[in-house]
Amino acid sequence: MNINLLIKLSNNCYWEPKTQAVIYDNHPVPLTSNMTTLLTLLIEHYDRPISSIDIFFHIWDDYDKEFNPKHIRSLISNLRKRLPCLIINNYYGGHYVLKKFRDNIPDITDYVLEILDQAKNGLTISDPNQPDNPVIFVNEAFTDLFGYTSEEVIGRNCRFLQGEDRDQTGLDEVREALSKQRDVTVTLRNYTKSGELIFNELTISPIFDKKNNKIKYFLGVQKNVTAVQKLIQQIKRMI
């Protein structure tokens, strides 16, 4: 068996893409045609949610057949029983995810905050499940950039960095992205504690709860692009 041509699903469990066969402990595992189609689809969407309806139309292409999520749940259950080595997560709203197997992942849970604190760009984490989406974490790069202590920031919405400079098109993009729970990158005019103007290239990404796919946090990354913006303005004045 040529391991290099296989996809590892778990320890001692492999998927052979060419024959669409599962090999466990060097022995093939028999699957029904529907199980094979389902597993192929899940592998193609590794680590990404796929809806029950999409699964239905891939497996039952007879459009006269009425969609019933029970058929999908039953098929998922049977596949899990046949291959208990698979990690298939159920997400809220009838979505399923096959988690990709990764070798030798270190447990960094206890060091996550230290890692974030040592990042070069400013980082914030806010909680949209609290009133006004307050900041619950800032790293040292953020406090160094804006001059505020973490105690002065945590518990507040980051809009205070705009001061009175609220007429910015990027703010509309941020509000829309937050409401639609999607990524966004904009450049904003922000102000330090001392009042200094900083052009902040802000990227916001939603963080979802893996158990129910509901929004849990927003991660903000702040990059100081003031020097670049000033250079652009100088060039415009010269033209």
| Tens digit of pLDDT at every position of the chain (239 positions) | 444 478 889 888 899 988 999 998 888 999 999 999 999 999 998 888 888 989 988 888 665 567 788 889 999 999 999 999 898 988 767 889 998 887 766 666 677 888 888 899 999 999 999 999 999 999 999 999 999 999 999 999 999 999 999 999 999 999 999 999 999 999 999 999 999 999 999 999 999 987 788 899 999 999 999 999 888 888 888 87
Q: Where in the chain is the domain with CATH 3.30.450.20?
A: 109-238
Tell me the fold of 109-238.
Beta-Lactamase (3.30.450)
Q: Which amino acid is at 26?
A: N
- Report the C-alpha gap between 140 and 122 in whole angstroms: 7
CATH architecture for segment(s) 3-98: Orthogonal Bundle (1.10)
- Location of each CATH 1.10.10.10 domain in the chain: 3-98
The residues, any chain, with a CB within 8 Å of residue 58's CB and separated by 6 or more, are 37, 38, 41
Are residues 97 and 89 in contact, defined by beta-carbon separation less than 8 angstroms? Answer: yes
In three-state secondary structure terms, 169 is helix
182: tokens are 């999607």
Residue 220 in contact with residue 121, Cβ under 8 Å? no
